Structure 1
Amino acid sequence: MKDTLRWAYALNQWNPRMDVFVRHEEQLRAFQTVSVLGFDHIELSSGTGRWDNLGRPETILLNHGSIDGLKAFLGRGSLAGVSSMFWDPGQPVEEEGWAFRTPLDPSHHDGIVEAARPFVQFLAAMGAEQLVVRPVGSAWMTGLVDEGAIRLVAALWNRVGEEARASGIGVAAHYDCLSGIHTQEQLETFLAALDPALVGLALDTAEFAIAGIDPVAFLRDHGSRVTHVHLKDARYADTGEEFLTPGAETTMLRGGAGRRIERWFYELGAEGGLVDVDGFVGELRAQDYRGWVVVESDHGSNPSELAMLNSWFIQHELGVARV
């Protein structure tokens, strides 16, 4: 995209399970689709094992031999690079012996800082900019965390941010609608406890809308803290506290409980969308936002189709030239 904003595309919608986006030919087709639609950078998501071979630095290097090998692979798909990578430290992974860690336990903090290092080193070697992190687990497991716990979590991410800064990588804490840091008041408490020189906010427009937080108003009031954006739409707000349903990652987000909404996240411009996408992007421009705008379609249907719809909206409704 040729624009004052920097646009990237998230690959997570191509990989709804760790065993469906494995072959290099499939990945190249996704790269080429993203490229022909006007995006030259991608965001990766962390994973585990050989079946998720774009999800761990170690596995990526085993597949491509070196950072230069990965860059060449991206080049075969007409991509210029990686903008960022999303990482959830609370997700047990094979490479770390399936260790369970939570940012709410201070005895786990050293392990989380250590676990972040391979991602930071990988992103620095790739010339990427942001490690996007899930700062705390889901509220159905933790409850809504209190102010003391919020400050504890912030202290952890300040440590990670300090280490990442030494490698030239930013850390952005990603808000999500299932999080134990859920309300706007909690989020503002969290931001107040974070060192803005070390950790920014990854503002996900759909996640905000689902949780009943206006992303445009929040950006207007807290724009100096936003260092990363996930741009997508939503058609439903969680008005019944479905985020507290046990197993909400499945029972809520995949339609298994409450109102049985099968799809919470939508492409830009979806009919009935809650996000004022034009207003949000306009506010980014007004604030001279310098970070990445990463377009997503989590849990959607055909990923190529949704990418095409997103590209069409950006070009025709936002007036951004594809090339």
Structure 2
Amino acid sequence: MSPRIRLGYAVNQWKPNFDDFTRPEQHERALKVIAACGFTGVELRGGTGRWDPLGRPASIAATYGSTGAFLDIVRRTGLEAVSSWYVDPGEPVDEELSRGRSILERARHGEITEALLPFAEFLATAGGTRLVVRALPAAWTLDRPLPGAAISDAAAGWNSVGAVVAETGVRLSLHVDCLSAAAEEKTLSALLAETDPSLVGLTLDTAELTVAGLDPVRLFDTHHDRVDHLHLKDTRYVDENGERLAPHAEASMLSEGGARGIERWFYECGTTGGLVDFPALAERLRAHDWSGWAVFESEQTPNPARSTMLNGWYAQRLLRG
């Protein structure tokens, strides 16, 4: 890695259940741990309802009295910025009486843009640079292979959102998780080809891609000119049986472990038995003189603070490398 890479941490790992991580003192404690472990930014995750007070800009303002009051706490703990925000427009939103909006439906593009704009405006105030969105819905919910017309519809939608988001000074970045229909090289390449490089970037998620059977290092080399954000976590497993394509894979595979009963799909970077080649990725980042936020994660961890410390140690090791 290089000094131009800024280290962030995803706060979503502190919320394993819907009624956890709801009080300001819990938020501040997590921010302090993140800062103490050497990270300078925090990534938030979109959410809804009273049990997710950090899930939406309006919820943050309601919980803390104002956006500024929350950002004062973020900076007081030693963090520089809310680096980014991950939002899946397909998830239901109670506050908007929405059951979710699909980027594949052109008629919903205006609604998606309107719904995502407050997140971009928040990030602009918070020193952030990336609004990270789920590139495509889960593969099991769609026809496969995804028709070219559907990819064109999604690309048109993201171009529209990206243009509006860019006006705030924030950039839109597409995230590919292991269940997404975009977690196939042909589909991802087609989607990137039809989106405007000046408006839409790509978030490279090392473990999600690996679980889906893709090589994140090779994908970075292929699409390094579009990669503008990193999600770094490890995994010990590949979905060799195609369970990510089965109905309701969110529960049957990720939450319940699938046929193999896997307790954790995601681990701290550099974990024993991990499949992600982080030294090779770091070398390619240096070779392409990449800059941006590298956000570390450890979803499904039983101990968020411990995982943050382990990732902090590994982050510094990569930097020295």
Partner residue, 1:115 = 115
How many angstroms does 1:317 deviate by? Answer: 5.2
Aligned to 2:217: 216
| Residue number in structure 2 paired with 1:6 | 6
Quickly say closer, same or farther: Cα 1:143–1:256, change in 2 above 3 A. Answer: farther
CA contact under 8 A between 1:33 and 1:304: conserved in structure 2?
A: yes
Q: Measure the CA separation in 2 of the matches of 1:201 and 1:78.
A: 28
**Structure 2 unmatched runs, 5+:** none
Cα deviation, residue 114, structure 1: 1.1
- Residue equivalent to 1:276: 277
Q: Does 1:136 align with 2:153?
A: no
Within a 5 Å distance, the mapping from 1:141-220 to structure 2 comes to 141-144=141-144, 145-220=146-221
Report the counterpart of residue 124 of structure 1 in structure 2.
124
| Amino acid in structure 2 at the alignment position of 1:170 | R
Cα deviation for residue 104 of structure 1 reads 1.6
Residue by residue over 1:117-176, the C-alpha shift from the partner in whole angstroms, topping out at 9 and shown as x without a partner, is: 111111112221110001221111124322221111011000000001111110000011
Q: What secondary structure, in the 3-state scheme, does the structure 2 residue paired with 1:131 have?
A: strand
Shift of 1:75: 2.7
Q: In 2, distance between residues paired with 1:231 and 1:74?
A: 22
Counterpart in 2 of 1:316? 317
Amino acid across the alignment from 2:73: F
Which amino acid in structure 2 is aligned with residue 39 of structure 1? F
Q: Which runs of 5+ in 1 are unaligned?
A: none
Which ranges of 4 or more aligned residues in structure 1 deviate by more than 6 Å?
none
Answer whether contact 1:6 1:292 (CA < 8 A) is retained: yes
Q: Which residue of 1 aligns with 2:247?
A: 246
Percent identity over the alignment is 45
Q: Is the 8 A contact 1:53 1:60 kept in 2?
A: yes
After TM superposition, the structure 1 = structure 2 runs for residues 25-104 of structure 1, keeping only pairs within 5 Å, are: 25-104=25-104
Residue 12 of structure 1: how far off its partner (Å): 0.8
Letter in 2 for 1:125: T
SS in 2 for 1:252: helix
Matched residues in 2 for 1:79 and 1:5: separation? 15
Distance 1:314 1:117 in 2: 32
Aligned to 2:299: 298
Tell me the distance in 2 between the aligned counterparts of 1:295 and 1:143: 33
TM-score normalised to the size of structure 2?
Answer: 0.95
Q: How many residues are matched? A: 320
